[in-house]
Amino acid sequence: MILFRQMLILFSLMLVGYCALRGKVLSEQAATPLSLLVTQIANPALILSASMESSFHVSMFQLLRIVGFSFLIYAVLIAVSRAVTMLFHGENQTIYELMLIFSNIGFMGIPLVKMVYGPKEFFYITVFQIPYDLLIYTYGVRRICGSGKSTSAADLLKSLVNPGSVAAVGAMLIYIFSVPCHGLLYEPLRMLGSIAAPLSMMVIGASFYGTRLRELITDRGIVLFSVVKLLMLPLILILILWKAGVRTEMLHVCLIVFGTPVGSMVVMFTEQFKTGQKLSTECVAFTTLLSVFTIPLLQMILQFLHIF
């Protein structure tokens, strides 16, 4: 019930963003700078401030194990997604694959974990940022633009060194070495981090303006994909991980990693490489709306099965 309550709160913030754009309080051009404000300032501040206020501590060995596990999770996700997308024939098969792999961890996952779970889960979701950034700029770009093209080492390094990844590394150092942080540093970061969830949800809500929901509901391909993405795939993968003996705290994070909607980065790449723009945009919108209900539903199913 806690997760469902938080998802309703996030949904109400989406409605605020939608109404703000519809009522001309926000302009369509404002969405881009607000998105950058979330990804470049608010989310990194949230990651750092959460590590500063937490008493949770890990050793270097534990960190390496968690990083290794996060890469393993994405390796499994890539393999499963490539198999599942055989159901989706046509030129957009690769787009479906990337949408299954790369969820909205930054805009929705990190704020949601902070609101619902404890410091250990928040640390785990921070670690998951590392393989996400690395894979989306390597595997993701290679898949979407064809095997004959690749990202140069300089461009890759430039993409990987961003405020989110820097904050993730900084948070890990704080967790490992229990670095004391002065209030003059912590308080501004805490205040900036506190706008991450409301601002990101408002941006998502504003992006729905102009979307024709009736067309999305009647599109069988999008509906089938959304059911697989938000319900079937997360449930199957979490059951496998549970049987493998993965701890509950990590399963909580995997629920968010698997169950959050399609990430906006996929849309950015489809726009950049001029392929599947309409499909990716529609799937982001539809899966985001559905996730308000599917994430709590997944939690209820897993609790009923005594996994959580």
pLDDT in tens, 15-35: 999 899 889 888 878 877 888
Residue 275, domain member (yes or no): yes
Closest to 204 (Cα-Cα) out of 158, 261, 143, 254: 261
pLDDT higher than threshold 80 for residue 147: no
Closest to 114 (Cα-Cα) out of 218, 187, 10, 265: 10
Residue 18, domain member (yes or no): no
Distance CA 17, CA 21 (A): 6
Q: What percent of the chain has pLDDT over 70?
A: 94
Residue 102, domain member (yes or no): yes
Name residue 18's amino acid: Y
Dump the DSSP string for 172-224: HHHHHHT----HHHHHHHHHHHTTHHHHHHHHHHHHTTT--HHHHHT-HHHHH
DSSP 38: I
Distance CA 308, CA 305 (A): 8
Higher pLDDT, 146 or 143: 143
For the chain, what is the domain count?
A: 1
Phi, psi angles (nearest 5°) of residue 80: -65, -40
pLDDT in tens, 218-251: 888 899 999 999 999 999 999 999 999 999 999 9
pLDDT value of residue 146: 66
Residue 66, domain member (yes or no): yes
Residue 160, domain member (yes or no): yes
Residue 19, domain member (yes or no): no
* Terminal CA-CA length for the chain: 13
Distance CA 284, CA 260 (A): 10
Residue 299, domain member (yes or no): yes
Domain containing residue 206: 2-13+24-304
Name residue 213's amino acid: L
Average pLDDT over the chain, rounded to whole? 86
pLDDT higher than threshold 60 for residue 270: yes
Segment 238-246 long-range contacts (CB within 8 Å, at least 24 positions apart): 238/298, 238/302, 238/307, 239/305, 239/307, 242/307
Closest to 241 (Cα-Cα) out of 259, 222, 261, 255: 255
pLDDT value of residue 171: 86
Residue 246, domain member (yes or no): yes
Q: What's the whole-model pTM score?
A: 0.82
Q: Which two tokens stand for residue 197?
A: 């969830």
pLDDT value of residue 155: 67
pLDDT value of residue 153: 67
Q: Describe the chain by its helix, strand, coil percentages, rounded to 5.
A: 80, 0, 20
Reported as a pLDDT band with limits 50, 70 and 90, residue 152 is low
